[in-house]
Amino acid sequence: RLVMSADGFYVGGNNIAGSGFYITANGGYSWLQRTTFSFVDYFVTGVGNVWFAITQHFVYRSTNYANSFAALPTYFDNLVVVTANSTGDRMIVGETNGTFSFSTDYGVSYSVVSNPTQSPTTSPAQIFVTPLKSWLTIAMDWTGSYITACSANDHIYVSSDAGITYEQKPDTSAYWVDIVMSVNGQYQLAGASGKCGLSKNFGDTWTVSAACLRGDTTISVVQVAMDSTGQFMGVAGSFSTSTGNGVLISNDYGTTWSAVPDFSSSAFSGIAISGTGQHQIFSVSSFIMYSSNYGVSWTFQSPGVGSFGKLTMNGDGSVLASPVGSSYIYVSRNYGTSWTNSGRTAFQDLAIDYD
pTM: 0.73
Q: Could you read off the pLDDT of 248-276 as tens digits, one per residue?
A: 889 999 998 887 766 666 678 889 999 99
Q: Is the pLDDT of residue 283 over 60?
A: yes
R_g over Cα of the chain: 19
Q: How far, in Å, are 19, 70, 93, 105, 120 from residue 96 at the CA level?
A: 23, 23, 10, 23, 17
pLDDT band at 27 (very low <50, low <70, confident <90, very high): low
Higher pLDDT, residue 297 or 264: 297
Name residue 289's beta-bridge partners.
Answer: 282, 300
| pLDDT value for 119 | 36
Q: Please state the rounded mean pLDDT for residues 293-299.
A: 91
**103-138 pLDDT per residue, tens:** 889 999 987 554 434 433 333 333 443 345 667 788
Lowest-pLDDT range of 39-43, 63-67, 347-351: 347-351
The mean of the pLDDT values for the chain is 81
For 183-192, what is the mean pLDDT?
Answer: 94
What's residue 213's pLDDT? 61
Pick from 1-15, 158-172, 222-236, 291-305: least confident:
1-15
Under the banding of pLDDT at 50, 70 and 90, the label for residue 292 is: very high
User: Is the pLDDT score of 354 beyond 70?
Assistant: no
Among 40-49, 150-159, 337-346, the minimum mean pLDDT is found in 337-346
Which of 71-80, 160-169, 196-205 has the largest mean confidence?
196-205
Beta pairing class for 287-291 and 280-284: antiparallel
